[in-house]
Amino acid sequence: MVRRDIQHISAIVFLFLLILTSCKTGTDTPTPLAVNVRIPIEPETLNPLFGKSSYVTQITSLILLPIAEYDPVSLKLSPLLITEIPAAEKVTEGKHAGGQRYQLHFRPEATWSDGKPVTTDDYLFTLKAIFNPYVTAATTRGFLNFISEIETDPKDILHATAYVDSSYILALEVITNFNLYPAHLYDPQNFMSKITLDELRDPNKKWSAEQDTLLKQFATSFESPHFGREMVSGAGPYELDNWTTGEFIRLKRKNNYWGDKITNAPLLIQAYPTEITYKIITDAATAEAALKSGELDVMGDVSPATFIKMRADSQWSAKFQFASPGLLQMNYLLLNNRKPVLADKRIRQALAYCLDYDGIMTNLLQGLGQRNVGPIHPSKSYYDKDLKPISQDINKAIALIKDAGWKDTNGNGIPDKIIDGKLQELSIGIKITAQEEGKAIANILKENAKKAGIEINIEVLDNSQFNDDRRQNNFDIEPMRMRSNPAIDDPYQNWHSASDKPGGGNVSGYHSIAADSVINEIRTDPSKQERDHDYHSLQEIIYEEQPVIFLYVPLERIIVSKKFEFLSSSRKPGYFENLFKRAA
């Protein structure tokens, strides 16, 4: 009997101890200024050249710096590792005659983590690393191909001259806007110094066996987890402190950071928090709970419903700040203009008139978005404000369908037409993934289009199949989003007929001689006034043709603890961790 009692008492004591130890313990040891940020997906690497998710860019932008980057406030290129943004100089003689030249002067204060100076050798090394044919950076190479030569100054390790052969509008961005790697840390055996950039860029170059081995060895090492997860080093204010797989990534501010010595330092090289922890929390409800309980300080990409609800609740509005800057992103319905039905602009216009945009803005986005008319983001100075966003007009849609020769001849309620000798119903498919936003838009389209007689069939696909079908042009409609950036827009990739090719960006298959001609002008226009005029013309053409249906520009939803002062921006992710300060 006594033994039984002892057993019961032990069990109760064990349970009590278990619950006692299980209750919330003190969180992290307080540090001078620590910021906890939620990320829903774990980055696969912290080598920005090979990372796919936007979180790789978000985290590595604090570790590795480009020589110039778009300022979060002015959205203009700001010099980070160079003393000033170089001006374009016309080249009149020599092998680059007709092109442009940029003088790059590196900051003498800028150093790597080990205190060694950032020099033009590192700049050249980074380009060589990217152009190494065994490094899987083919798409980045495509962008950097505009650089025709880099000339380093043998007398000054901080001075280089970059040449661009054509007067391309993004030339300055191409030269300055890629992350720099420290040559002595990423290539300690100096493999890449034995090969020149010109050799690497020569498509007919035949490598000797020794060179081939060196290139392969470097590529294997450069892409290895060592440089992706352990030795992640750059000229930025932070370095990797701890990456515990599946749990968190912690950055700590460098001791003796060079940026502290710069007076009036650009925003992106300033750094206030001593520690930034990215907590990997997949589930949105758990992340919301962690934010409310104080385990998180910052949460971006909050669902519109949660954002609105928390902002309206006095309990949470007393503890948190709510920011909703306009994102540099445009959501649209991608239409396959190659399909016989959608090749007729009247059908594309009819679809555009079917949609209940007000319903989308109110119900789906809870008002956290704005309409746009075409491929230019509304924040850009050359956005055409005279064009009015299309509103729902079912009668106009019906008239357009009729005008295009569609009529219900077989009495099934769906207009039809003979195309290439075959009876074709006005039935269009929309392919979506399991993503909620796409599902909602597809359902709205289906419901709205039905009012004009158009049948919409929804097909839900796995991500990989969804992307593959788009690459193979095997789709009618797909809901998509288009990332914009603060740079001047180059519409060539998405709207020029020459980009309608396998792997090209003109996925809609839009062909217009007028648009092509305007795009060619934009790419080489030397004057801003003329370029702006051409941008307006392009927007008018696309507005009229509706090769895709532009839906909205979403507003970012960011919640930040009132413990901090922070700066919101339309640049992704909408906040800048390095600029977080303790609230007064």
Partner 1 sequence: MIISFIRRFSNAILLLWIISIIAFWLSKLAPGDEVMDYLSIDDSRYNINSNPLELQNAYLQIAHRRGLDLPMFYWSISPGYYPTHVNLVLPLDERKSLKSWIDQSKNGNESVLLHDQLKSGLQIYCTNSNSIPFYNVLCQNFNNALKTNDLQLLQKNMLSVKDVLLKDTISNPEITDQLSGILTLCGKLLQKENSELVTTWLPLIEWNGTHNQYHQWMSGLISQRPLTSLVDGLNAWTKIYDALKWTLLLNGIAFLLAIILGVRIGIWSGAHDGRPIERIVNWILFALFALPSFWLGTLFIYSLTSGEWLSIFPSGGLGSYQRAGSVIEKWSILFSHLFLPVMCLALGALAYVSRQMKQSILHQLQQPYVKALRAQGISERTIMRRHVIRNSLFPVITIIGGSVPALLSGSLIVEVIFSIPGMGRLMYNSLLAHDWPVVFPVLMLGAAITIFSYVLTDVVYKWADPRVKTV
Residues 237-276 that bind partner 1 (CB under 8 A): 242, 244-248
Rounded to the nearest 5°, which phi and psi values hold at 330? Answer: -130, 130
Other beta carbons within 10 angstroms of residue 456's beta carbon come to 22
Q: Is 421 in the site for partner 1 (CB under 8 A)?
A: no
Decide: is 317 part of the binding site for partner 1 (CB under 8 A). no
**Per-residue DSSP letters for 50-83?**
T--SHHHHHHHTTTS-BSEEE-TTT-SEEESSBS
C-beta of 103 vs 520, nearer to partner 1: 520
Q: Nearest approach, Cβ of 63 to partner 1 (angstroms)?
A: 17
287 or 444: whose CB is closer to partner 1?
A: 287
DSSP state of 344: S
280 scored as a contact of partner 1 (CB under 8 A): yes
Considering only 290, 298, 330, 364, the residue that binds partner 1 (CB under 8 A) is 290
Q: Which of residues 441-470 bind partner 1 (CB under 8 A)?
A: 461-465, 467-468
Member of 502, 513, 527, 584 binding partner 1 (CB under 8 A): 502
Question: Could you tell me the two tokens for 23?
Answer: 């209750």
366 binds partner 1 (CB under 8 A): no
* Contact track, partner 1, 26-55, x by CB under 8 A: -xxx------------x-xx------x---
Question: Least distance to partner 1 from the beta carbon of 201, Å?
Answer: 10
Q: Pick from 73, 75, 108, 134 the residue near partner 1 by CB under 8 A.
A: 134
Token duo for residue 366: 């809870």
Query: Comparing C-alpha atoms, which of 517, 485, 480 is closest to residue 498?
Result: 517
Helical pair 345-354 and 394-403, crossing angle rounded to 10 deg: 160
Q: Which of residues 197-236 bind partner 1 (CB under 8 A)?
A: 203-204, 223-225, 228-229
Rg from Cα positions in the chain: 28
Q: How many CB atoms lie within 10 A of CB 384?
A: 19
Which of 33, 96, 103, 143: binder of partner 1 (CB under 8 A)?
143
161 to 200, contacts with partner 1 by CB under 8 A? 170
Token pair 């909050």 is at which residue?
302
Position 149: which residue type?
Answer: E
Enumerate residues 552-581 that contact partner 1 by CB under 8 A: none
CA 112, 184, 66: angle at the middle one, nearest 5?
45
Q: How far apart are CA 231 and CA 214, in angstroms?
A: 21
Q: How far is the CB of 311 from partner 1 (least distance, A)?
A: 16
> Measured from the CB of residue 403, what is the shortest distance to partner 1 in angstroms?
30
Cα torsion 95, 522, 338, 464: sign: positive
Between 24 and 388, CB nearer to partner 1: 24
Q: Measured from the CB atom, is 96 or 292 closer to partner 1? A: 292
Q: Select 490 or 525, whichever has its Cβ closest to partner 1.
A: 490
Alpha-carbon distance of 158 to 118, in angstroms, equals: 8
Q: How far is CA 57 from CA 46, 48, 51, 52, 53, in A?
A: 8, 6, 8, 9, 7
| Binding piece for partner 1, criterion CB under 8 A, among 262-270, 282-290, 439-447, 510-518 | 282-290
Residues 59-88 that bind partner 1 (CB under 8 A): none
Tell whether residue 505 is a contact of partner 1 (CB under 8 A). Answer: yes
The single residue among 1, 19, 209, 584 that binds partner 1, judged by CB under 8 A, is 19
Q: Does 310 bind partner 1 (CB under 8 A)?
A: no
- The residue type found at 363 is N
Q: Which region among 13-21, 386-394, 435-443, 543-551 touches partner 1 (by CB under 8 A)?
A: 13-21
Across the strands, what pairs with 279? 38, 248
Nearer to partner 1, 173 or 187 (CB): 173
Angle at 572 between CA 570 and CA 573, to 5 degrees: 110
